[in-house]
Every structure is written in C-alpha cells, then in structure tokens.
Amino acid sequence: MSTFFVDLYHLYLLPRCGTLHFQFKTNDFFNSHNYFEGVMETIEYQNGEITILWKPKVCTHSGVCVRTLPNVYDPKARPWIRTQYATTQELIDQVAKCPSGALSIKKDEEK
C-alpha cells in the first residue's frame, strides 16, 4: 500500500467562478524529471508550422497569454486558442512568456 503525503507549504488555493480549487505547486525535481508526463491532459492547437500544447491542469490562469495576444487567446471562444491570428514567431515568443509552463511548442514535421 502506498501513501501520498501532502506538503501544505506548496499547496495554494485558486479562486475560480466563486469557488476555491486546490492546486499543487510542484518543485524543481518534479518539473525537471517530467513526473507528470503522460498523466496530464494536453490539448493541441496547430497552425501548420508549429503546434501549441496546452496543459489545463498546469495553467494558473495568470492571463499573460490573453494580454499578450488577445486575438489569439480568447477564453470565451471555442477553440480558445486561434493560431491563425498571429505569426509563428509571435506565437513562439508568447509561449515563452507563460509563467506556469502550461503552454509549450512542438514543431510540426515537414511533409
């Protein structure tokens, strides 16, 4: 039987839609060793040259993406990431600014 310990120092609350949600802040060991790889849901958005990968459970909803490229990132739209409204370089530059690491880039293979 395995036991999971909760480190309350790295636990914080996120207010969303009038309720509180718990989210764990991972340390560098987990981030550097891809501890959550394969466990978390990843949603892909393509523009033909690159694919933006979004991990919703990692996202802290800081709004940096929405403020940087409001035409691309619209939380009220579906899909909420519309890659056609920015150049590939603008998308790469913006993803690099994501504070939580929920957004990442994968280069598409040329056919």
Amino acid identity of residue 43, one-letter, is I
Q: Where are the alpha helices (DSSP H) in the chain?
A: 28-32, 64-68, 88-95
Answer whether residue 2 is part of any domain: no
pLDDT tens-digit map of 68-102 = 999 999 999 999 999 999 999 999 999 999 999 99
Answer whether residue 3 is part of any domain: no
CB 99 within 8 A of CB 65: no
Class of residue 3 by CB neighbours under 10 A (exposed 0-12, middle 13-18, buried 19+)? exposed
Answer whether residue 1 is part of any domain: no
CA distance 37 to 60: 18
Answer whether residue 17 is part of any domain: yes
What is the pTM for the complete model shown? Answer: 0.63
Print the domain residue range for 103: 8-107
107 confidence band (pLDDT: 50, 70, 90): very high
The better pLDDT of the pair 40, 41 is held by 41
Q: What's the total number of domains in the chain?
A: 1
pLDDT value of position 38: 53
58 confidence band (pLDDT: 50, 70, 90): very high
Answer whether residue 87 is part of any domain: yes
Give the pair of three-digit tokens for residue 91: 């998308």
Class of residue 38 by CB neighbours under 10 A (exposed 0-12, middle 13-18, buried 19+)? exposed
CA distance 12 to 5: 15
Answer whether residue 98 is part of any domain: yes
pLDDT value of position 42: 94
